[in-house]
Chains A and B, each alone.
Chain A
């Protein structure tokens, strides 16, 4: 009697009647036929077949939550039997009703896939422990045998490259094909590992179906098909026990019976079949069968959305072990079957709402940012690029002026400042990530930090705003309003669960992105100190409310600061103008000054540029520059696929550049360049190689790095008194000449005191006046005190109150 099983295919709306007739299969076959999988009534406790011995079948609610509706009708129609008779003769040619799926051949094909598929594109680091030259999925089965988790995840892309037709069938008729796959996988598995004990039979979970990527493109044609969409979990419900099979017991004669769920309802038997008593059957809860179910709301990821529209949401139903696998806030890729169910018909009203409810029965989850806080999952971080797009980008990268092109595409509305734009461009690309953990050095920072400093109204904020809008993980904060807590992380008590939750701040949120900090100078000292760790170690340590942890914050910092006197004072050094601790300043790879050039030719060009803004049409302007989207893709592609290494010549050039930098300082007896500057140079060179999509850092890259470094330095480290670039301004906060002057003054003071003969104590004011009278340049009180301090350090004298004592 079991040779015919019909199921409703879940699709009420399909044009075809959705039954499956499963007929011409040898009798010993039907027990493990795909259709028995998942129907509770056909649960077999220990089958006679040797392969699947004793392992129970676990029903798959993910494949059909509205099935079986037609089964009753079908039996009552008596269709089944007559069909069996007529169609048995057709032999193996039979397909499942409404599809073109032939179970036997489908199973065979899938088994061949499992046994033979070797991924030609597999990368070594992708799957640890897999031998890439052996069939991939056979190794997975072996893994199942060892680990005991009876789920086989199958990448649809693999299936597609192996058998296009099978892939198409899987996408179009998942409800029929997946059970066939289950069957095939189990046969192979139990053939190989007959003694294996699993919780239940293996379930195949396909993922990465390329049918649909975006929630917005879902349409009625996708109903009942296998789809993969990405999105963000915004809500998840409590666990819902869903009754699959009710157990009834007669109160009179203790006769028991089972009733399966039908369209979400259990039909309570009104008469006991055994003793014919009416209304004697009572539900026995703990012998009924339940399955876990959870409702999840998925919202479109912000990147996928067209501007100016609100995000779409879609309801997911997760079953059994997929329950509670994802949390609100997770970014996931979901593979499942798209369903549309009519809103329940009420028998009392003949009119029904003509709208369907849609949901997705989840088959497979894949978190896309699960490892955000722990380490970069490079594979999932990668943005999907179509082949054409990659071609366009590669074509672009071959252009000789690509560097100039990209930098001019950056914030085109901001006039000139080409070197600054180039610097920011390199920052967007970043250096190569290097790991020296095994040599004790830890991670080598790949991110480039930039400080813009200059007069108000030189469009610093606009540049920051542009960068923040350009990069996917950009954060924008203002130094004025942000606290250390807002930048790092804080611990909060969740009002609902009373659980402590770590709320991450701007720096952590911009991990692998850029943190733009405006009004950097307005930031208070304690907040700024947080940045020390972030900018060099790229981590954040938190110890709050019993939570001690170190979070990754591999973020580039793009900061903008105003001079301390709000207008740049050209008579002062950068340090004096910005008033930032030099420990922090030295952590910036590039410090740019954005000053008003006050040059006639510049003014003229600026005026022309601005005037053009005010009348040219938007279209015309766009033609001239590279599209922001192209720029964004170009950067994303380079960041994830290009990882340049230093070439021999490049290292040589770097060494020379570094030695040169050291020489400049050593000429006047001061060490001026520090290893940190060398690291900056390397990073900049690497970034420039990335711009060219080059896997090798070459001399041109080093040249550009040197150029930028020099340009930035020229502006920020020029000694205003000598006009000479002096890197020690950055590292010690004082220029070499200033040091020299200080020393000279101290010597002069020493001479003055010595010339006064053997007086043990001197009046402070008297000494100051004498020194001023003697010196040919103006001596301020500060300078005098500094000289005194220097002499005190030499144990020449001590200062107590208003008197100076010699030692």
Chain B
């Protein structure tokens, strides 16, 4: 099968197709690969850097990588075409430099740097990390789909067994095991993790004993404790389309040429000679050209922005085949919704109202911005959570099982004062040092305020809390560039669990009213997760990811009705109904309609939204009364 062979050595294709140097070949290469990748799920044949450790992959082979753009380096000028000359025979040969890091030449040849044939071209380097907070199930499932066919391009034979979800969940329920799972690319105790971990340790050790005595390279993951390959992704065309925090899937040529590291070392040696080099460029160099074994390079042939990272959904929803998928799923939507509601009700200790709001929250997304105002964000403050209990931890674990990417932020004084929330520019190394709030779109951020004790916030703490507040209110994070700040819009679903009303702003506060108090919370929650069939769980996952992407509209008729309603409500009680309430009710109505698979607002949904809001408000009122009595 020559198709398979192609993946073996894409560079050979590139090389053979360029025998006749013309400007067309570049276009042809891209088109060739685009075509090839379309063929019968060919994308699944390409080994993924997310799953396979770098040293199992052949250099110069085609790989794919699902990642988030963490930082953008300066554009690079490289030799697009260069000429080598044999000093003995004076024979001159032209070479192409695209898709390579190193200008190669034969043992008897030299590169003629002054050749008139040299063409300088430009490319852009992105520093990419795996999607922060990517759930274990996303890794697991995409690994399984990839490995359904054994990839011939790697010498790596996966020894991973297909595990049942029960087993998977079982692991999830034990924090210690879960940690292990986080470390591997897909939660594995069967082999793939071990050599990798050894390698990272080895390279870190290598750094420690290197003559520079530099500390091990910080791979700059936004979230603490993340593992996975960071990559230097070199983009050759239309790099202006990509933004920081975009989630990409790139197909490209893997470059792990050890020469890169040698060049590195020698440059390091020569720094002593050149005064220009030994200033702060050393630090910059270390960060911008790390050893290829640790941070491989990918020369991109094809890169696409991902709408979502849920492997259970077709990557692009606009295509024909995905349309049938969507319509099939939509037809059986209501039982899924009912089951999900039931599941979440159990998880929230029998509180169905809170479960309803949690569904609305999970499918919310910023769909537009009017000047500074983000529309469609729906931050829920789940108050009334028992303090210092494992309850919030388990709620997070359940959310983690449902959404593709999430992070639990424990709001302790210690954490607020010492964590890095806001990404900042390190000018010595010339890179953007990441922070917890550098997250990809549609990541679920669960802020656990029940952990907060009384105490003193220092400057960092105040900054962090302000940044978190800004993120919730404006859906933006101001990255710190030392001399100025720069605003990066984001789209993060924030759920705040707290005892009383949260100190952070939120769109909607739901007070939890547990119907059942399980004697053993741990056992209760565990049994809840094990009780769900994997196929049902998958449906939940599809449900939540898919509904986010639907369009929505309101007919003129309903608009009229809403208007009337609002005027009426204001007439009766102008004090308690404000524009904010209308905002919120409209939001609730939007997500309520979408959660039922309806893309227009109907009168019934509007009434239901009002009803939900009324119920919620009554609860808050009650809560106030209770608190008042206690005082």
The answer for the CA separation of A598 and B569 in the assembled complex, in Å, is 11
Check if B574 sits within 8 Å of A596, measured CB to CB: yes
**A344 x B270 contact (CB < 8 A):** yes
Residue pair B368, A352 in contact (C-beta under 8 Å) = no
CB distance from A415 to the nearest CB of B (A): 8
For A317, give the chain B residue with the smallest CB separation.
B276
* B27 contacts the other chain (CB 8 A): no
Q: How far is the CB of A6 from chain B (nearest CB, A)?
A: 13
Write the chain A residue with the least CB distance to B552.
Answer: A615
Greatest chain B CB density within 10 A among A15, A353, A598, A600 is at A353
Looking at the complex, which one of A232, A235, A240, A350 makes contact with B110 (CB distance below 8 Å)?
A: A350
C-beta contact mask, A718-743 vs B, less than 8 Å → 1, else 0? 00000000000000000000000000
0/1 string, B327-347, CB within 8 A of A gives 1: 000000000000000000000
Interface string of A406-443 (1 = CB under 8 A from B): 00000111010000000000000000000000000000
Of all chain B residues, the one with the shortest Cβ separation from A509 is B484
Contact across chains for B82 and A354 when beta carbons are under 8 A apart? yes
A371 contacts chain B at the CB level, 8 A cutoff: no
Residue numbers in A under 8 Å from B116 (CB-CB): 14-17
Pairwise interchain contact B259-A349, C-beta atoms closer than 8 A? yes
| A contact residues around B104 at 8 Å (CB) | 351
Provide the residues of chain A in CB contact with B370, threshold 8 Å: 412-413, 613, 621
Q: How far is the CA of A615 from the CA of B432 in the complex (A)?
A: 37
Residues in A neighbouring B483, C-beta threshold 8 A: 232, 234, 328-329
CB-CB under 8 A for A312 and B369, given A240-B275, A354-B103: no
Cβ of A305 under 8 Å from chain B: yes
Question: Which residues of chain A are near B111, meaning CB under 8 Å?
Answer: 345, 350, 352
Question: Considering the chains assembled together, what is the distance between the CA atoms of A293 and B279 in angstroms?
Answer: 13
Interface residues on B, range: 35 or more
Q: Is A86's CB within 8 Å of the partner chain B?
A: no
CA distance A607 to B279 in the complex (A): 61
Q: Which of B117, B120, B486 contacts A305 (CB 8 A)?
A: B486
Determine if B6 is an interface residue (Cβ-Cβ < 8 Å). Answer: no
Is B110 in contact with A238, judged by CB distance below 8 angstroms? Answer: no
> Cβ of B267 < 8 Å from any Cβ of A?
yes
The answer for the CA separation of A350 and B107 in the assembled complex, in Å, is 7
Q: Does A162 lie at the interface of the complex (its beta carbon under 8 Å from any beta carbon of B)?
A: no
B76: interface (CB < 8 Å): yes
| CB proximity to B under 8 Å, residues A282-328 | 293, 295, 297, 299, 302, 305-314, 328
Determine if B554 and A312 form an interchain contact, defined as CB atoms under 8 angstroms apart.
Answer: no
Q: How far is the CA of A307 from the CA of B243 in the complex (A)?
A: 8
Cβ contact within 8 Å between B552 and A457: no
| Chain B 559-582 near chain A by CB (<8 Å), digits 1 or 0 | 100110111001100100011101
Among A77-85, A461-469, A582-590, the stretch that binds chain B is A461-469
Interface residues on A, range: 35 or more
Residues of A within 8 A of B245 (CB): 308
The answer, yes or no, to whether A628 is at the interface (CB within 8 Å) is yes
Q: Are B373 and A413 in contact (CB under 8 A)?
A: yes
Q: Which residues of B contact A350 (CB under 8 A)?
A: 105-107, 109-111
CB-based nearest A residue for B72: A310
Q: B17: CB under 8 A from chain A?
A: no
> Complex formed: what's the CA distance from A308 to B488 in Å?
6
Interface pair A606/B582, CB less than 8 Å apart = yes
Q: Tell yes or no: A358 within 8 A of B by CB.
A: yes
Given contacts A457-B578, A465-B474, A610-B583, contact A310 B371 (CB under 8 A): no
Contact of A466 among B263, B372, B583 (CB under 8 A): B372
Distance in angstroms between the alpha carbons of A604 and B259 in the assembled complex? 71
B553 within 8 A of A: yes
A598-B574 contact in complex given A223-B120, A352-B111, C-beta closer than 8 Å: yes
For A380-421 the 0/1 string (1 means CB < 8 A from B) is 000000000000000000000000000000011101000000
Given contacts A308-B244, A355-B77, A598-B570, contact A220 B552 (CB under 8 A): no
Cβ contact of A356, chosen from B71, B120, B244, B582, cutoff 8 A: B120
A-B contact pairs, 10 of them (CB 8 A): A295-B276, A307-B243, A311-B481, A311-B486, A354-B82, A354-B102, A607-B567, A611-B562, A612-B559, A614-B375
Binding site for A on B (CB under 8 A): 71-72, 74-79, 82, 97, 100-107, 109-111, 113-114, 116-118, 120-122, 240, 243-246, 259-260, 262-263, 266-267, 270, 274-276, 279-280, 368-373, 375, 425, 427-428, 430, 432, 462, 466, 474, 481-484, 486-489, 552-554, 559, 562-563, 565-567, 570-571, 574, 578-580, 582-583, 586-587, 590, 601
Assuming A310-B432, A350-B110, what are 9 further A-B pairs, CB within 8 angstroms? A235-B427, A307-B489, A345-B113, A351-B103, A413-B370, A415-B579, A462-B373, A611-B586, A615-B552
